[in-house]
Amino acid sequence: MERILTYRIQKNDSGKSVHEFLRGLGYSRHILLSMKPDPMAVMKNGKPVRMSGALQEGDVLRITVRDESSSENIVPAPVPFDIVFEDSDLLVVSKPSGVAIHPAVSHPANTLANGIALYFKEQGIPYVFRCINRLDRDTTGLLIVAKNKVSASILERDLRQREIHRTYLAVVEGILPESGTVHAPVGRKSSSLIERCIDWENGDAAVTHFRRLCAFPLCTPVNNEAETSSGALSGQLSSAVSPSAPVLSLAELHLETGRTHQIRVHMAHIGHPLLGDTLYNPEGLPGISRQALHSWKLDFIHPVTKEPMHFESPLPADMSAVVNVPWQTGLNG
């Protein structure tokens, strides 16, 4: 895949070297090194220029980056996913449950990476898989996939600097507090290759913000729409709920960090594990065959155009069936 980017040098960048200018945009050192063998990769005013070359106001810098071959060991295969947005620099896709992001020992094929590899193979385009944010295999919803080295480098920098804002929806057990923040380090559980835990000594810092959208009974329809709209949205239980009925909460969650299984571990830690999460809530309530977690919204700045980007993904059918309050259709567009 080839991408050509053109920049007109402004007054505030006059006097910078090509290297300094591109690094300021978010180009990694690896990208700059990869362009050195190609004399046509970096052009100033139509002529090749060294990375040390100086720039002046009004100069036109033309950058060419390309992938000559596709990702090794990622075999194109028909794997389901929905494209929400696509341009020359990125894809925003919505992933179904049961699909891992990329091949691993436990799932060497039939991953999102395999499906996207097929998508580009059918177009005859070499493609290297570069997924920016991650989701567990059974978590649904939005992901950003970069289409070239430059967009990947800039988006990865933005993710590290917490400039990509991710909003999740989760169904948790019990009545979640109206709002709060979990500050608890997450680390690998010593007895497991997969499971994570709160590790106050050796874990990585992890911060999750949550807000309760409503509370509702498990598998008990609520018929009074007016009561639900005024009561559930304010975080109060509808009067239709029996005192003995199991109660669930729909939570909106925002991540400051992106540790493996962070939301699942944090919600279990505060006593409100995700519905269906058999890893962190093995004795939990029935109602859904996976952890009830959905990547709902993504907000970020486009890596090249610098335009604000906002995307939403409808609540999937299995979670929608559990969230049995009439107003939840507002979560589906």
Amino acid at 265: V
Cα–Cα distance, 295 to 275 (Å, whole number): 16
Angle at 272 between CA 268 and CA 274, to 5 degrees: 75
Catalytic residue among 13, 136, 138, 277: 136
Instruction: Determine contact, residues 128/65, Cβ cutoff 8 Å.
Output: no
Cα–Cα distance, 47 to 287 (Å, whole number): 64
- Pair type for strands 82-86 and 90-95: antiparallel
- Is there a catalytic annotation at residue 138? no
SS3 59: coil
Q: How far is CA 39 from the centre of its chain?
A: 36
Q: Where are the alpha helices (DSSP H) in the chain?
A: 18-25, 29-35, 112-121, 149-160, 225-231, 262-269, 317-322
Rounded to the nearest 10 degrees, how much is the dihedral formed by the CA atoms of 162, 167, 172, 178?
90
User: Shortest CA distance to 314 belongs to which of 118, 96, 166?
Assistant: 96
161 dihedral zone (left: phi>0; alpha: psi -120 to 50; beta): alpha
Residues belonging to the active site: 136
